[in-house]
Chain A
């Protein structure tokens, strides 16, 4: 691309050089901030994860891999991994599945479906902390809507289900106070909040699937709706699915608001909902144990980068075109 010089005063410097200088000038602020705000902290976290540094103390010692060793040996962190993985492994498939299902239903309804799209997208927009508090009231053991609704089933045929039978006899669960239920409630809210987002991504994917493909599949003998889905829709949505799964995973790893809203002091009954993000906050900020907090941070980054790299690899390797 030729740069056209204007005006009489041709500068001593070569125009290409001048453009390069301007370009660096334009990119410099962004570059500086990227280094300072994103790259330096990663390095800092990496370095501190080998120390017992804490804010306000003048000195610190190098402790080698001790922080990481703790992460893999202490039962608290075992609970952290279990809670985080439970959340990710539950929320990601279900919110992706519900997102896809809702998208297919909404898509098949045409314009009338838009009302459902609007409704399902509301939780994505709403402040999660506020909604967590609303859910806390819903799940309140005595005045909550959930247990009251469940109690309506008492005395009906539903009492044949063991859950209802024991609920009607001894009261329905405490939900947030019960270590058998706590993490599942958090998962449920995570799904409630996130599947609308996946639905919208899938809807975007569905509109780009050509109608002719369905006709072609029908001619080739794909008679049932399931066959058409398996042969046309699902492969066509391949790239969307990879994208949706990755984003859902990254978001699921970052769950924090609900946990902190429900259990400000400690990540759930018996640490059953002690997720990584909460652990970073509790160890690093509240207890000022920056070494161990940094080690969790590093592990977290490794997970997320690994996921994103897998996504890129998948997208580049097998993009389907129906």
Chain B
């Protein structure tokens, strides 16, 4: 241990740099605009009550409010009533900075909707990838047919093509079909995972033929074998693939940026965050960091819970 102190020193310094933006993101998501500006308040900020200027501006008492409230403040002139009302509004509009930032994150933009979109898109991509890749992988691994080598050669060739790189022709094709600004546009280019086919095929090669023959003896069709024999044996590989696929598509920004233009209903979490940045003025740092925290948290928490599986899954991703 004492011999290793310099290793710890180097690694801790590295860890500080790696963690700094996370620290800042979470810390700013708790602080009031003033504290962010002046760079004070430690990690959580002082959490003093703050007044939301936009909320006050929206509820500025007008003539009618003053008339209506006159009974509640007997013996006051108009200015006095107005001042009293303003004080009430400010009281109603004041809250802890942390609460302010997170409620703003969820109310200023439909963040729940964005998160739902993220879930819908990543889950549909993963399920379709499995439905398409698994039978193909089984055929390539376990069935003999004329042209198998050619098909596998094609798979190997397609591994060379990064989907992000051919975004432009894909975008044109989807635009021609009138599919831009639909869920389909977000999902379709990712329905085929050549890497998934390759990974599953390698895995199926290790499954003993006897298992399949036994299933055939029981009168199972090849189709049934794929889903009722091969799928359960492939669960570990599928899990690794699921992690890779979900992490990649939850975090993806490039493709949604291209095919979703303007239609907020289809925004995925990164697009939603980007938009927040677009219209936020200086005082919106807190809510923006709260949004960023909300988007980053699900995967990080899942990762911290099941580290080993995550690392396996991502590492397998090799040919992204």
Contacts and interface: CB of A to CB of B under 8 A. Distances in A.
Interface of A: 1, 3-4, 6-7, 16, 19-20, 22-24, 26-27, 29-31, 33-34, 37-42, 44-45, 48, 55, 102, 105-106, 108-109, 113, 116-131, 133-135, 137-138, 143, 145, 148, 192, 196-197, 200-201, 204, 243, 247, 250-251, 254, 256-257, 260-261, 264, 277, 280-281, 284-285, 290, 293-294, 297, 300-301, 304-305, 308-309
Nearest to A280: B168
B120 to A, nearest CB: 17
Interface string B173-192: 10100000000000011011
B155, B217, B311: most-surrounded residue (chain A CB, <10 A) = B311
Nearest to B4: A109
B159, B258, B274, B289: most-surrounded residue (chain A CB, <10 A) = B274
User: Does more than half of chain B's interface fall in helix, strand or loop, or is it mixed?
Assistant: helix
A20, A127, A192: most-surrounded residue (chain B CB, <10 A) = A127
Contacts of A42: 161, 166, 169
21 contacts: A4-B217, A26-B138, A29-B136, A31-B136, A34-B194, A37-B163, A41-B169, A108-B7, A109-B8, A129-B251, A130-B296, A137-B289, A200-B314, A201-B315, A247-B319, A260-B257, A277-B164, A277-B254, A280-B167, A297-B165, A301-B166
B36 interface: yes
B247 A129 contact: no
A24 B143 CA distance: 10
A141 to B, nearest CB: 13
B148 A118 contact: no
Contacts of A3: 216
Contact of A19 (B24, B144, B209, B295): B144
A285 B226 CA distance: 41
Contact of A133 (B162, B277, B303): B277
Task: Give the bracket for the number of chain B residues in contact with chain A.
Answer: 35 or more
Contacts of B159: 308
Contacts of A304: 160-162, 165
Nearest to A145: B24
Nearest to A55: B175
B270 A120 contact: no
